[in-house]
Amino acid sequence: MVCVGSSVAASQVLVGAPLFTVQALRYTLAAVLLLVLARIGRRPLPRPRGTEWCWLAAVAAVGLVVFNVAVVRGVEHAEPAVIGVAVATVPVALAVAGPLAARRRPAPTVVLAALVVTAGAVLVEGGGRTDAEGILWAAVTMLCEIGFTLLAVPVLDRLGPWAVSLHSVWIATVVLTVLGLAVEGPAAITQLDGGDLLAALHLAVVVTALAFVLWYTAVDRIGAGRAGLFTGIVPVAAAAGGVLLGAPVPGAAVWLGTGVVALGLAIGFARPAPQRTPERISPGAGTTTPSAARTSP
């Protein structure tokens, strides 16, 4: 989530760049990096089969393609803080939806922690101007962020975080490349300057390749509900990154919000998660996976 928070500055650089083209370049670089690192590290990359392709396509479409469109279009109608506040509600949604997707009751402690983390994130982000369309895009952004996690849960156990990351990224690359060629034209790539390329490189290496593997590993090991608490770190990391890039030192509300986020994380992890079965689903098993059962803390 610190990696994701660092995307704020990079995304601001890309405001005037061709949206689909630069995102296609970003995910192309990330897919190549993921494949090379997986081969070097001898990470297993199982081939998806059957309905697993549908889940991966949904992750790519919702969590990558539509999410990026929603963020860019959203900031045209609302201040970035409004979009940030929408994303800040993700901990609560994952704390409730994660266990329910696994047909289990949400853990009251994690739900309480998610509410505290969300309150802290909202304090860090603050308010901002918006209109009706801005609110709509903010809602789409929130739903896409939730989908990025929950849509991967059914395939995480068999495929693992490396394969889920790689396949969702290359699928998004294909979609964005087609959109870029159709909407912006082949010449759009020539409109990217040095700053755009550096920003795309940062997004590819840090925010995509590294962050995706770390995130899906966390979801697989501690569940979507507890992992979702860490999305509250995004605005904190963004604020800290802004200071490193020359922005003014944050005011009292940001420091208070940071403390509240830390409190929420402490509440959520005060009690160790129960031990989970290490068994993996067999090729002939049904659709319910141990990974799905692990979404509940």
At 245 the pLDDT is: 64
Q: What is the pLDDT of residues 190-199, one digit of tens each?
A: 999 998 899 8
To the nearest whole percent, how much of the chain has pLDDT over 70?
81
Q: What is the pLDDT of residues 89-116, one digit of tens each?
A: 788 878 887 777 667 787 888 888 888 8
| Mean pLDDT, residues 152-172 | 94
At 280 the pLDDT is: 41
pLDDT interval class at 21 (50, 70, 90): very high
User: Which of 4-13, 140-149, 182-191, 276-285 is least confident?
Assistant: 276-285
More confident: 131 or 206: 206
3-state helix/strand/coil string of the chain: CHHHHCHHHHHHHCCCCCHHHHHHHHHHHHHHHHHHHHHHCCCCCCCCCCCHHHHHHHHHHHHHHHHHHHHHHHHHHCCHHHHHHHHHCHHHHHHHHHHHHCCCCCCHHHHHHHHHHHHHHHHHHCCCCCCHHHHHHHHHHHHHHHHHHHCCHHHHHHHHHHHHHHHHHHHHHHHHHHHHHHHHCHHHHHHCCHHHHHHHHHHHHHHHHHHHHHHHHHHHHHCHHHHHHHHHHHHHHHHHHHHHCCCCCCCHHHHHHHHHHHHHHHHHCCCCCCCCCCCCCCCCCCCCCHHHHCCCC
User: Which of 56-70, 155-169, 243-257 is least confident?
Assistant: 243-257
- List the domain boundaries for the chain: 2-272+287-293
User: Which of 32-36, 80-84, 152-156, 227-231 is least confident?
Assistant: 80-84
| Mean pLDDT, residues 29-58 | 95
Which of 87-91, 174-178, 263-267 is modeled with the greatest confidence? 174-178
